[in-house]
Structure 1
Amino acid sequence: MAYRFQVVIDSRDPHAQADWWAETMGWVVEPSDEAFIRRMVSEGFATEAETTTHQGVLVWASAQAICPPDQVGQKERQRFLFQTVPEGKTVKNRVHWDVRLDGDDKDEIRTALESRGATFLWEGREGPHGWYTMADPEGNEFCIS
């Protein structure tokens, strides 16, 4: 049996991270079901403290997901979920993801990412294949190639 998965990223600010990564990937922040959230609060399954307003929309405070725009609402969608954790990042990631640029110039993308808060860490190369290892605004490593 093959299983589906989502990538979950610990975050100080899951909504800011979701916004940043949605723009970086050309993905979208998954829409919030405000009526569902209100119903969960009114029925006692959640509290107001578990919600927040982000960009004028009622959302769960502790997490936010992104996915490709053509997969919104699909069960089988690719997905990054950013979730709040109490501690900040202190060491190198044990897992990271590679963003495949599909022919876009990695120097231009690097510059654009740095202007939005990413940090260049190092350049890697194996034979003819080269990449840049970067860190997002919260310090999570990723590569562009």
Structure 2
Amino acid sequence: MAYDFQVVIDTVDPHPLADWWADALGWQVEPSNEAFIRAMIEKGHATEDDTTTHNGALVWKAGAAIRHPDGLERAPRVLFQLVPAAKTVKNRVHLDVRVGADNIEPVVERLTGKGAKVLHRGRQGPNWWITIADPEGNELCIT
């Protein structure tokens, strides 16, 4: 039996990081369902402390998610999950974002302009990539 999955990235600030990654990948942040959130509070399944406001919308404090514009059939959902501590060591898993050899430098330049940091330039035979870190230090490769 095959299973579906989502990718989860731990973060101290889920909503801005989801915005950054949605922009980086050309994906969409899942919209907030304020009516659902308010209903959960009214029914006692959540409290106001479980929420926050981001870009003028009521959202769950614990996380934010992004999706490929073509939906979950095209690519798994990425969830940015609130954790109490910042990242302190190298990731053991990372995403390779395939933009094509002609686009690597312009994409890296755009993302560093939005808070990413270049960590490493790599090459294996004819293939090359640039490893960067997002604004919270999570590594990804632009290839």
Deviation, 1:70, is 2.4
Per-residue Cα deviation, 1:15-73 (whole angstroms, up to 9, x for no partner) = 000000000000000011111100000000000000011111111011000001221xx
Aligned to 2:88, what secondary structure does the other structure show? coil
Work out the number of aligned pairs and report it. Answer: 143
Task: Tell me if 1:34 matches 2:34.
Answer: yes
CA RMSD of the aligned region, Å? 1.4
User: What are structure 1's unaligned runs of at least 5 residues?
Assistant: none
What is the TM-score when the length of structure 2 is the normalising length?
Answer: 0.95
Distance in 2 (CA, whole Å) between partners of 1:27 and 1:104 is 21
Q: Is the 8 A contact 1:133 1:143 kept in 2?
A: yes
Q: Please show how residues 11-90 of structure 1 align to structure 2 within 5 Å.
A: 11-71=11-71, 78-90=76-88
Task: Tell me if 1:3 matches 2:3.
Answer: yes
Deviation, 1:109, is 1.0
Distance in 2 (CA, whole Å) between partners of 1:14 and 1:144 is 22
Deviation, 1:102, is 3.6
**Residue 117 of structure 2: aligned partner:** 119
Distance in 1 (CA, whole Å) between partners of 2:90 and 2:83 is 17
Distance in 1 (CA, whole Å) between partners of 2:15 and 2:64 is 6
What is the TM-score when the length of structure 1 is the normalising length?
Answer: 0.94
User: What are structure 2's unaligned runs of at least 5 residues?
Assistant: none
